[in-house]
Amino acid sequence: MAPADRPDWFGRLSRVGGELAARSLDALVISNPTNLRYLGGYTGSAGLLVCTPSRATLIVDGRYSLATRHAIAAGRLGPMDVAVVEGRYDLTLGSVLASQEVGSAGFEAEHLTVALFDAWKLAAPGVTWQATYRIVESHRAVKDAVEIATLRRAATLLSDVARLLPGIVAAGRTEREVARAIEQSIDTVGFSAPAFPTIVASGPNSALPHARPTDRRLQAGDLVVLDFGGVLDGYCGDLTRMAAIEQVSAEALALFAAVREAHAAAIAAVRPGVLASDVDAAARLALSARGVGSAFLHGTGHGLGLDLHEAPRLGRPDADRVEPLIPGMVCTIEPGVYVEGTGGVRLEDDVLVTAGGCEVLTDAPRDLLVV
Ligand code: GLY
Ligand code: MN
Ligand code: MN
């Protein structure tokens, strides 16, 4: 049994290994770095993991072999055998698969280049390969107690940063200055890094959903989108709040009111069994009722975890991704509208799917911050 504050590597590896027989696979070769971290705690810049129903073999090169062996022995990494690359990863992979008599292996189709796949086929001529999609990611989507505790702390700290915004956002400051001050606060409250480059988008720039901060100075009449995140023990928090510089137009206030309604409608729709795409539909319906549905230019949210964007995807229905919500999922709710000439509005919170619905983890005030 894993210590309470340490990930349950054994359980994670066993659950993935236990899925292989039903897919007629002897092994799954994992190349997505985030999946390596999730399954075994490995964070080196290169590595592969061969998972079978009975064992896991981490393939690393000389830069990481000693540190990896020590970390496994100390329980800081999962229970994995280690194979060390002598020349090339593909050749070591071929010999690991041959020595374990693997006849059929899955690869992560979304995390392998065509060139590497060609090399793997040559290095493992006896293996029949099968493309797999999101096997580990579907496990990652439902967080365990240790992960939820970390995400909860990240959301609390990020809310603390949001509460500092009244002292950060001011007319005359540039977007870049505001973004720098937010990132300074992200550091000060205890995050190891921003989860992504902070977005501060003012006036006309607010109509660009993923604008980068510029040297534009905030001025009266601006809507300002403030979207920022932090990484805590590897896990991401993600939050968006809105400011207005002095008085904004009636159209801008109407956009804010519409997004606030859509945000509330989406949160009200979150509960186990509901499709992730239905939460998106709830936000879209609320915006359409206010006449701004066509200005909603992205999905309603995304799963949060070791990656900033992970399963589930709260977007338009997609026959290839039917994702019912499950207790333990943590995702963002972030409807937004973007209107050239008026500006943009987005509100974003992080929520945990619970047995009875959802718990909003980020608790900073959502009102338009007028400065
Ligand atoms: N800024 C990235 C996101 O909110 O998803
Ligand atoms: Mn987000
Ligand atoms: Mn965000």
- DSSP conformation letters of 77-112: S-S-EEEE-SS-HHHHHHHHHHHTT--EEEEEGGG-
Q: Whose alpha carbon is nearest atom 1 of ligand 1?
A: 227
State the Cα–Cα distance between residues 294 and 1, nearest whole angstrom: 51
Residue 227 alpha carbon to ligand 3 centre in Å? 5
Q: How far apart are CA 217 and CA 221, in angstroms?
A: 12
pLDDT in tens, 111-162: 999 999 999 999 999 999 999 999 999 999 999 999 999 999 999 999 999 9
Cut 0.85: pTM above it: yes
198 C-alpha to ligand 1 centroid (Å):
9
Please identify, by atom number, the ligand 1 atom nearest to the C-alpha of residue 309. Answer: 5
Task: Tell me the one-letter amino acid at 128.
Answer: T
Ligand 1, residues 196, 304, 345, 350: which to mutate, most atoms within 8 A of Cβ?
A: 196
CA 148 from chain centre, in angstroms, equals 14
Per-residue b or e along 115-151, where b marks 16 or more CB atoms closer than 10 Å to that residue's CB: ebbebbeebbeebebeebebbbbebbbbbeebbbebb
pLDDT digits (tens, 9 = 90+) for 2-13: 555 789 999 999
**Helix H or strand E encompassing 241:** strand 235-244
**Rounded Cα–Cα distance for residues 194 and 207 (Å):** 23
**287, two tokens:** 């915006």
Residues with beta carbon inside 6 Å of ligand 1? 196, 199, 227, 238, 334, 348
> What pLDDT shows up at residue 295?
98
Q: What amino acid occupies position 212?
A: R
Distance between Cα 309 and ligand 1 center (Å): 8
| Residue whose structure tokens are 């985030």 | 34
Which mutation among 304, 310, 333, 348 tests ligand 1's pocket best, with the greatest number of atoms within 8 A of CB?
Answer: 348
What are 41's two structure tokens? Answer: 């705690």
pLDDT of residue 195: 98
CA distance 255 to 343: 9
Both tokens of 201, joined, read 């988008």
Residue located nearest, by CA, to atom 3 of ligand 1? 238
pLDDT at 3: 55
Q: What is the pLDDT of residue 319?
A: 82
315: number of Cβ within 10 Å: 19
| Atom number, ligand 1, closest to the C-alpha of residue 240 | 4
Q: Strands 104-108, 128-132: parallel, antiparallel or unpaired by DSSP?
A: parallel
Residues of the chain with pLDDT under 50: 1
> Residue 114's pLDDT is what?
98
CA distance 59 to 46: 9
Distance 350 CA to ligand 3 centre (A): 10
Rounded to 5, what percent of the chain is helix, strand, coil?
35, 25, 40
